[in-house]
Amino acid sequence: GVGEAAVREALCRFGEIESCDLAFESSYGIVCFTTHAAALQAKAANGLSELCSGVDTRYNERSYDGRGWCCFESGVSSELLVRLSVAPRMKAELDKLPPKLISLARGRAPEPVELTHSDVWQRVQRVIGTIEQATFTGKGDKEKVPKLYKSYVARVAKVLTSTLALQTALEAEVAVSPMPSVDAPPADTLRLAEGQLLLLPGADARLAGGDGAW
């Protein structure tokens, strides 16, 4: 293997080296320069093949919006919220909750991500286009990830079709008003005149289920 002295000698021409850790991983080591610009120069340089098989920065410097899987994650994380927001009552409830997505960037405070929902179909096409234009490092991911997103959209749409239909039916129901209370005086006691006939069910009639008189 290559020793630390050889590594420092080969890379010191790009800038001052702060540390060199060749035992960090069995397959690679980490060299820290005092400036990021020096690290980028070492990455872009040729003639290091005798030292190692490749040089790269430790962290992916590509922007979030330019990474394929990140574009996929951004799309699926907001898909359900966008579709729920189409229903006014659902949106009113969602607006009461803390924001689901927060944008983080160096030099500014965290900001909630505003989700647009004017046209769901155009949104799907836009997310797919963003994924297809992004960069993937894994083999086959560029073809696989758009299909994963489409499959997720189909499952979400299927569930929401029945959920929102039920919600609409419940909102359309008319509430029945309670019956009004009436304050009526009690009825008078039944009084019969002397000699007045009264029809009563007879015994035979009661057994037959009809009316009769005694």
Q: How much is the pLDDT for 114?
A: 81
Taking the model in full, what pTM does it have?
0.56
3-state secondary structure of 74: helix
Residue 49: burial class (beta carbons within 10 Å; 0-12, 13-18, 19+): exposed
How many CB atoms lie under 10 A from the CB of residue 178?
Answer: 6
For 127-173, the pLDDT digits (tens) are 999 999 999 988 889 999 999 999 999 999 888 887 766 555 555 55
User: Is the per-residue pLDDT at 208 higher than 90?
Assistant: no
Helix (H) or strand (E) run with residue 121 in it: helix 120-133
Whats the size of the chain, residue-wise? 214
Taking each helix axis from N to C terminus, what angle separates 68-84 and 141-172, rounded to the nearest 10 degrees?
Answer: 10
Q: Evaluate the CA torsion angle 138, 142, 147, 150 in order and state its sign.
A: positive
User: Is the per-residue pLDDT at 211 higher than 60?
Assistant: no
What band does 34 get if pLDDT is binned at 50, 70 and 90? very high
What band does 25 get if pLDDT is binned at 50, 70 and 90? low
